[in-house]
Amino acid sequence: MKPIKLKVKTFSETYPIIIGSNLVENLDKYLKKNSIDFNQCLLVVDKKVPKKMLSKIYKSLKKKKITKFFFEANEKNKNQKSVNKILEILLNKNFSRQDSVITIGGGITGDVGGFAASLFKRGLQFINLPTTLLSQVDSCIGGKTGINTIQGKNLVGNFYQPKIVVSDSRFLNTLPLREIICGYGEILKHSLIMDKNFFTYLNNNGSKILTLKSPFLENAIFQSCKIKKIIVEKDEKEKELRKILNFGHTFAHSYEASLGYSKKLNHGEAVILGMISALKFSLCNKLIKYKEYQSVINHIKKMNLPSNIRNYFSEKNLNRIIFFMTKDKKNLSKKINLILLRKIGLTIINNQYNNNEIKKFLKQELSN
C-alpha cells in the first residue's frame, strides 16, 4: 500500500504525518524530503520495541551520530526523573538546538521524549516514530507532551510540535490484542466527537481493523489523524474546540490514577470505560437520545471492548475517583468539567457539575 501523507499546520509548526507499511528503513529519505537535518540524534526507545525494527532505523540513520536511551515505558515512569535522565544525556553529549530527539515507542515514550526535547535549550528538533495503534491515531498529533505526578495524569507539560511523524503499521504486528483494543478506543472516540460516517465505517469494519487487515487499518489510522488534525489546526493550545478530544478522558484519567496506573487497567481501556461513563451521564442528563446512546453501546459490546466498570472498581473506590476528577486540568472552577455527547458526531464542552452530582451518578454505576 502506498504511504499516505497528511500535513498538519499549526501556528507554531507545520509537519507531515506519513502513514503506511515498510517506512522506517527509509527514514533518512523522509527526513531529507522534508528538509530535516541534524548531526547527532538521541533515540528515546521503549524497551519493548522489536530489535528487528530498531536495526532498520539504525541502518537508515547510519550517517548520523546516534546515542540511545532505553527505558521502561509505563505510566509510573512517565515522570520528571525520566525527563531528567534524557536531559542529562543531551547535556553530556553537547547536543545543539539543530540536533534531534527521536522517540520510538507509544504515547508515553513520545510524551516523555517530546517534553525533554521542548525543555533542552528551549527546544531542539523532535521526531516521532509511534509504535502502538494508540499513539499512531492520537498522541503523535497535536504536540501535547507531559508527565504524571502523584496528583494526577499529565498535569505537568506543554505543547511542542514534532518536525515529522512516521507511523509504520508493521510495528503493530508485534502487539497483543489488548494493545490494539486500546488504540481502537481512541479511533472510536474520534468518530463519536466529529464524524458519524466514520462511526458507520467502524461499525461495518471494526473487526477487520482489530485484526490489522489492510487497507482497513491504514484507513482508520488516516481518518483518525485527519479528524484530530482538523481540531488541532483550529485550536492548538486547547482554548475551546480541542477540548472535545477529551471526551471520556475526565473519567478515564481518574480511573487510571485511582488504580495507581497499574497494569490492571491501561490508558486505552480506561478511555473506553470513560466514554461509556460520559455517554451514560449524557443520557441521565437528557443530552443524548437513547437510540444514539444504544447504538454506541451496542458497537462497544459487538467489538468485545471493555464495558463493565464494576470489573475494575467498587463503591469503596468512589471517593478516590472523585478526588482525581477534581484535579483534572480541564476544570475551570471547583466544579468538574465534562465533555459530553449530544449525538454521534456532536459534543458539548464546558459542562460544569459539582462533586455530589457526579458522585451520585458513579455510586449508582458501581452498585448496579
* Domain chopping of the chain, boundaries: 4-174, 177-367
So what's the pLDDT on residue 12? Answer: 87
Q: Which CATH architecture describes the domain 177-367?
A: Up-down Bundle (1.20)
- Assess contact for 341 and 347: CB atoms under 8 A: yes
So what's the pLDDT on residue 87? Answer: 98
- Assess contact for 26 and 129: CB atoms under 8 A: no
Beta strands 164-168 and 65-71, pairing class: unpaired
- Assess contact for 184 and 133: CB atoms under 8 A: yes
Q: Which residues of the chain have pLDDT under 50?
A: none
Partners of residue 341 on adjacent β-strands: 347
Q: Which three cell numbers stand for residue 365?
A: 454505576
Beta strands 65-71 and 40-46, pairing class: parallel
CA distance 241 to 96: 35
CATH of 4-174, one of 3.40.50.620, 3.40.50.300, 3.40.50.970, 3.40.50.1970: 3.40.50.1970
Q: What's this model's pTM, rounded to 2 decimal places?
A: 0.92
44, containing H or E segment: strand 40-46
262-300 per-position pLDDT tens digit: 889 999 999 999 999 999 999 999 999 999 999 999 999
Helix (H, G, I), strand (E, B) or coil at 296: helix
So what's the pLDDT on residue 118? Answer: 97
Letter string b/e over residues 341-352, b meaning 16 or more CB atoms within 10 A of that residue's CB:
beebbebbbebe
CA distance 215 to 209: 9
Which residues are CB-neighbours of 361 under 8 A, at least 6 positions away?
280, 281, 284
38, containing H or E segment: none
CA distance 106 to 48: 10
- Assess contact for 362 and 350: CB atoms under 8 A: no
So what's the pLDDT on residue 2? Answer: 87
So what's the pLDDT on residue 327? Answer: 87
